[in-house]
């Protein structure tokens, strides 16, 4: 009907790769004919022919997707932006409760997606299966060692925290880290402690925490900031901004001023869903850029290109009102 070759029609309607050049006029005739014939591309047939679905998968380990997490919102924003720009669709895998690692691996790599962006612990058995396969996978946030990973410069972020507190005269600092075995948190915490020691800052590692009210200071930690102590601590270095959000009102209720009596520096640099009275000084990780880069690295893997085992992106200090 359009009076063109099969190759030209395929180039226009299916995005086929070839050396065939199609003029704007010919392209218009092909599209008009497709509308008149009610032609629709069959994505299943196309994927069988090309061996690609143009779908990218996202898997967060065996953890539920907490849609109220500001961090996760940044990650998903970056992934969606990158897939949209690449004309790819996104399939989000949920939690595989009751499934063995072999069943989870098969579900992730069964051909529904061309590749996978993941966030998982290094000791996750599924990570070992993915790393030993030829299925294209890229991790974000936490380096896995066996799978190409896109991370931030956690060590430099930890050093930034220490240098900032030293700059403002703080010489005794409470350090909060995570109960979770995150490589990223281990890196930033160790870097902070090393830099603090080099700068002559005395540190005390407090309770390891997870999220929410678990970040609250216990009685022994609060006592470190008592104005009656000659060796009182004057600052807190947090592994996550969530620590600061919980601890600031707790300190104020205890009669302490932030940052006059106690300074707090967070990590992640993502804004909470609800407005706060405090602009937390933090390490801005730009998680959306981490996610976008992870998708780009994954697309390179899908195309068979060599990619580095670890890609590190820079962090920056976000000066707020808590230091």
Report the pLDDT value the prediction gives residue 70, as an integer from 0 to 100. Answer: 84
Structural domains of the chain in order of their starting residue, each with its CATH number: 6-41 (no CATH), 55-152+288-313 (3.40.50.2300), 154-284 (3.40.50.2300)
Largest CA distance in the chain: 90
The pLDDT score that the predictor gives to residue 20 is: 60
Bridge partner list, 310: 149
Q: Each residue of 123-150: pLDDT tens digit?
A: 889 999 999 999 999 999 999 999 999 9
- Of the listed ranges 177-181, 222-226, 234-238, 294-298, the least confidently predicted one is 177-181
Q: What are the tens digits of pLDDT across the range 216-242?
A: 999 999 999 998 889 999 999 999 999
Say what the pLDDT of residue 50 is: 47
Q: Residue 219 and residue 206: Cα distance in Å, rounded?
A: 11
Query: What is the reported pLDDT for 48?
Result: 46
124 vs 262, residue with greater confidence: 262
Check whether 23 has a pLDDT greater than 60.
Answer: yes
pLDDT class for 309, splitting at 50, 70, 90? very high
pLDDT attached to residue 278: 85
At 77-116, the pLDDT tens digits run: 999 999 999 999 999 998 788 888 999 999 999 999 999 9
């Amino acid at each position: 009907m359009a009076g063109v070759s099969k190759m030209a029609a395929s180039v226009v309607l299916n995005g086929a790769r070839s050396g065939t050049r199609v003029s704007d006029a010919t392209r218009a005739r092909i599209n008009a004919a497709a509308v008149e014939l009610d032609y629709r591309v069959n994505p299943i047939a196309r994927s069988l022919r090309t061996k690609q679905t143009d779908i990218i998968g996202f898997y967060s380990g065996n953890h539920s997707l907490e849609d109220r997490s500001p961090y996760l919102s940044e990650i998903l924003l970056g992934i969606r932006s990158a897939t949209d720009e690449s004309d790819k669709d996104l399939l989000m895998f949920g939690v595989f409760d009751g499934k063995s690692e072999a069943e989870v691996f098969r579900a992730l790599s069964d051909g529904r997606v061309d590749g996978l962006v993941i966030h998982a612990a290094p000791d996750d058995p599924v990570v070992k299966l993915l790393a030993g396969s030829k299925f294209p996978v890229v991790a974000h946030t936490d380096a896995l060692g066996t799978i190409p990973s896109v991370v931030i410069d956690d060590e430099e972020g930890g050093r930034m925290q220490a240098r900032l507190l030293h700059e403002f005269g703080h010489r005794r600092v409470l350090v909060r880290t995570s109960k979770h075995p995150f490589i990223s948190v281990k890196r930033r915490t160790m870097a902070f402690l090393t830099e603090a020691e080099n700068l002559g800052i005395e540190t005390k590692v407090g309770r390891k925490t997870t999220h929410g009210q678990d970040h609250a200071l216990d009685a022994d930690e609060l006592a470190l900031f008592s104005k009656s102590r000659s060796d009182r601590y004057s600052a807190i270095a947090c592994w996550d901004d969530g620590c600061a959000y919980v601890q600031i009102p707790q300190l104020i209720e205890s009669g302490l001023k932030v940052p006059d009596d106690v300074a707090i520096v967070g990590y992640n640099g993502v804004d909470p869903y609800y407005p706060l009275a405090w602009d937390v000084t933090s390490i801005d990780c730009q998680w959306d850029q981490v996610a976008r880069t992870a998708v780009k690295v994954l697309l390179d893997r899908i195309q068979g290109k060599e990619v580095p085992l670890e890609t590190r992106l820079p962090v920056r200090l976000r000066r707020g009102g808590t230091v």
